[in-house]
Amino acid sequence: MIIHLVRHGLPKTGSDGLYLPDAGLTELGHCQAASAARKVIELNPDASFTSNVPRAVESAAHFEQATNQSVRQIPNLAEMKTGNIWNAPTSIKKRISKGDYHVDFKSMGGETIPEFSSRAIAGFSELLDIATSSGLSKIAAFLHEGVIGTIIDQLEGRDTFDPKRRSTMPYGALITVDTESSAPSFPGYWETEHLD
């Protein structure tokens, strides 16, 4: 099965650089999502999926509105649960805003990397089950960097997501993976030409 994995557009953040709770997209984020949607339309997926997180849902909406193909939400494909990061010390907030996943999110009411990996893999398995039972061969998924990284790691035989394994995925970028190929799922770059 071919899966086009698309990262959501740039979300709204606070002055501390942290995503706002239930943040949607910025104006630039909507532009990135619209560009990604146009690219995905060219790829002609049989079906499309997203998480239930506003930034991913808003990104997927650009595709949904342009194609009238409803985008199915899978809650387990949500990004890592960070808990109440907005009350964390400034030093922790700075690490989080720079994409550091190795913060003790559990102590703030969030989840550990292994818990996140397990949940995201369960969400990916649900996506695959739906696609397989529906006879789909090509799908799109509008997701989050950590979830996309977890999916790539899973396809490459790793059980736990490691955010330092690859370069940061740009907002609106995509990567195409083949679940039936033994080739590495990450070719060393993200597809971003559609964002120029």
| Domain positions in the chain | 2-195
Separation between Cα atoms, residue 53 and residue 33, nearest integer Å: 15
CA distances from 102 to 87, 93, 144, 168 (A): 17, 12, 17, 15
Asked whether residue 152 carries a pLDDT value surpassing 80, the answer given is yes
The SS3 call for residue 178 is strand
Residues 6+ apart with CB under 8 A from 71: 48, 49, 50, 57, 60, 61, 63, 64, 142
> Looking at the domain that runs over 2-195, which CATH code has it been given?
3.40.50.1240
Asked whether residue 4 carries a pLDDT value surpassing 80, the answer given is yes
Q: Using H for helix, E for strand and C for coil, what is the string for 153-174?
A: HHHCCCCCCCCCCCCCCCCCCE
Q: Rounded to two decimals, what is the model's pTM?
A: 0.94
Share of the chain above pLDDT 90, in %: 76
For 139-151, the pLDDT digits (tens) are 999 999 999 999 9
Under DSSP, the state recorded for 191 is B
For 119-135, the pLDDT digits (tens) are 999 999 999 999 999 99
For 156-195, the pLDDT digits (tens) are 998 888 877 888 899 999 999 999 887 778 887 899 999 9
List 4's β-bridge partners, or say none: 140, 176
Q: Report the chain's mean pLDDT, rounded to a whole number.
A: 93
Q: List the Cα angle 9/31/168 in 5-degree steps.
A: 35
